[in-house]
Amino acid sequence: MSTVETVGLPEDRGIRPEHVHDLLEAGETEHLAALLSDLHPSDLAELLGELDDDDRLTLLELLPAEVASETLAEMATEEHPAEILTALGPERVGELVAELSDDDAVDLIRHLPPEEQARILASLPRLEAGTLRKLLQYPEESAGGIMTTELVAVSVHLTAAEAIEEVRRQAHELGGEFYAIFVVDLLRRLLGTVSLQTLVLADPKTPLRELVEPPVATVTVDTDQERVARSTAPNNSPTGPSLGPETSFSAGNLGH
């Protein structure tokens, strides 16, 4: 117990690499994981970049998958987070990549050699691996290269009550995180958006077509990122739809 008490946490709520090493050497892994899980991912990413290889890998095995994956996503490119990922076992790699949004996962593995990409994708469920393969095909500097397919889209033919149920179902599949509700027709063509507040306040029997608002900005998957930024900047919108071929809403949602 004395090791834990003497190492402690500095006043800035950070931990130096030597503190991590000492706690690992002392076998205080649960205590260390609890301390580090309270840190912001960006602070944890900075610490991870300062550790030696052995301590870094041990820490990534110890931390909860959600925390470890967010930390890797926050690491600077020059710290080679993707190469760190590949040093982990296949099962752990699958756990960490599965916790990331599609766009963060693609950013992490894009610059790896094809054989390493294939190894990581093989550790994922088939559907998720297929999604990432599709996103990896888009140029890095395009809208497709920064988009995520994790989105909520509902049919214009629903009522407000039916739309709420559909949003609830899709949001549950996404882990509760989404940034907009897109409204589409039967051919998945984008018609606009509707806010959750609008749905909740509307009469349950109100047709969704009476509540939909035109989309603030749309781009195609091959649109350059600078044009993407210009198209969303006037509305200060953190998200926008990215359209596939023939403007079918089948591609994804712009990264945020």
Secondary-structure breakdown of the chain: helix, strand, coil percentages, each rounded to the nearest 5: 55, 10, 35
Pairing of strands 241-243, 252-254: antiparallel
**Sorting pLDDT into bands at 50, 70 and 90, what band is 79?**
confident
Q: Are 17 and 36 in contact (CB under 8 A)?
A: no
Percent of the chain at pLDDT > 90 equals 25
User: Quick one: fold of 146-254?
Assistant: CBS-domain (3.10.580)
Domain ranges of the chain: 2-137, 146-254
Q: What is the mean pLDDT of residues 191-208?
A: 94
When the pLDDT of each residue in the chain is averaged and rounded to a whole number, the result is 77
Return d(Cα 48, Cα 56) in angstroms, integer: 6
**Sorting pLDDT into bands at 50, 70 and 90, what band is 137?**
confident
Answer whether residue 252 shows pLDDT above 80. Answer: no
Question: H or E segment at 237?
Answer: none
CATH of the domain spanning 2-137 = 1.25.60.10
Q: How far is CA 5 from the centre of its chain?
A: 36
Choose between 34 and 230: higher pLDDT: 34
Q: What is the mean pLDDT of residues 8-18?
A: 60
Which runs of consecutive H residues, i.e. helices, occur in 2-150? 2-7, 17-25, 29-37, 41-50, 53-62, 65-74, 81-86, 90-99, 102-109, 114-122, 126-136, 143-146
Q: Are 193 and 183 in contact (CB under 8 A)?
A: yes
Answer whether residue 100 shows pLDDT above 90. Answer: no
Q: Report the pLDDT value the prediction gives residue 140, as an integer from 0 to 100.
A: 58
Answer whether residue 54 shows pLDDT above 80. Answer: yes
Query: Counting runs of H as helices and runs of E as strands, what totals does the chain give?
Result: 15, 7
For residue 184, the cross-strand partners are 155, 190
What is the sign, positive or negative, of the torsion defined by CA atoms of 225, 136, 150, 176? Answer: negative
Q: What is the mean pLDDT of residues 108-131?
A: 86
- Between the alpha carbon of residue 10 and those of residues 27, 37, 101, 225, 239, the distances in Å are 20, 16, 32, 41, 38
Answer whether residue 157 shows pLDDT above 90. Answer: yes
Answer whether residue 164 shows pLDDT above 80. Answer: yes
Percent of the chain at pLDDT > 70 equals 71
Return d(Cα 213, Cα 31) in angstroms, integer: 50
Answer whether residue 21 shows pLDDT above 50. Answer: yes
**Sorting pLDDT into bands at 50, 70 and 90, what band is 12?**
very low
